[in-house]
Amino acid sequence: MDAFIAETPFFTTEQRNLSISVAGFVGREIETRSVEEEQEGQETDASFRAYLKVLAEADLLRYAIAAPGGRIDVRSLCLIREALSYASPLADLAFVMQGLGTYPLSLAAPEHLRDFWLARASQGQAIAAFALTEEEAGSDVAGIKTTARLEGDAYIIDGSKRFISNAGLADFYTVFARTGTREDGRAELSAFVVGARMPGFSVRSRTEMLASHPIGEIEFKGCRVPAEDMIGREGDGFRLAMQTLDTFRASVGAAACGMAGRALDEAITYAKKRRQFGRALSEHQLIQEKLADMMTELDAARLLVYRAAYLKDAGVARVTREASEAKLFATEAAWRIVDSALQIHGGAGLVRGSRVERLYRDVRALRIYEGTSEIQKLVIASQLLQE
């Protein structure tokens, strides 16, 4: 068992056993596919679907998809994300997007809508997406311009979204649209489930990113969505979006820890076998200093992540600050750890397709999505000033 999990008080026996079984699963099913993906240059969509299939067969998707009312074991979610991202950030994406895309449904969707999509998502039969970001509305969610107007027994959605993970792959999208304007002039947001085959919905383009990631822009042109497919009530959209992001925020830090842990292991292995000036790199004090800093930052990041997850599971009313601290520190620390691992590898770390080179590209997005590091600092400060 991972010494950190064995030695810290955050985990139940069931969660410790889960970490062992997931580690075995990742070694058997994810690591081998990740290596093949690197060697053969497999197409991203095909790899994504393959990962989703094995996750469903192992019954792991249920840990990402909340029970009705939004009940989810955040520590288990984090443990699985950390293990998956250690081997394949793309497998981690396949796992967590099923949760992000369905969480608002578990919170507030009508029973018929919730049960239909959650059952299919948990079995890997339907791919979920979370459609919030727009060209003029990233961190500023209230700046959303996509509109939804009630017309008879349906809402007509017009607008577009960008940087939507699973665009073009998803079978359904949780879409946030403007249904009115509040007294302060900000958007009144509502949430809807939009099926990928609905008339008026289209994938405008797929976006090539720094790392392998199925993502793109989607568009709505007079897309008619039955009123019964609204999630919650009119005006609930902002609350649902924030509850979703608050719940999953610490798990972004867990994914960062997985990547950082892999980078550290790769650096240690390389430093032991690479010789310079007549001795192994690991015998040079400057390399030892780097490894010590990397290990310390990784331990600190994991402590923050699992503290936030533990508090959420314990039912603490508000863990916004703790989750933001975890996301901020873990993603920034992971970036530094991966960078140090690449530095230890020297020129070998720059070779396209090498493990540390891939980590260098994969880890960068974590400091941006689900709230940039700058936004996390504002959130933390805001919470402090309210205490």
Burial of 337: CB neighbours in 10 Å, binned 0-12, 13-18, 19+: buried
Beta bridge partners of 67: 71
User: Which of these is catalytic: 134, 322, 370, 387?
Assistant: 370
Instruction: For residue 58, give the 3-state DSSP assignment.
Output: coil
Cα-only R_g, the chain: 21
Q: Would you give the end-to-end CA distance of the chain in angstroms? A: 38
CA distance 25 to 178: 42
Q: Which two tokens stand for residue 119?
A: 């059952």
Strands (E), the chain: 128-131, 147-151, 154-165, 172-181, 187-195, 201-206, 215-226, 230-231, 275-276, 279-280
Q: Cβ distance 228 to 105 under 8 Å?
A: no
Beta bridge partners of 149: 156
Burial of 58: CB neighbours in 10 Å, binned 0-12, 13-18, 19+: middle
Catalytic residue check, 370: yes
**Considering only CA atoms, which of 99, 104, 70, 383 is closest in space to residue 242?**
104
CA distance 77 to 18: 10
CA distance 146 to 217: 13
CA distance 314 to 79: 16
- Whole-angstrom CA distances from 239 to 108, 141, 198, 243 are 11, 11, 26, 6
Q: Is 169 left (phi over 0), alpha (psi -120 to 50) or beta?
A: alpha
Catalytic (active-site) positions: 370
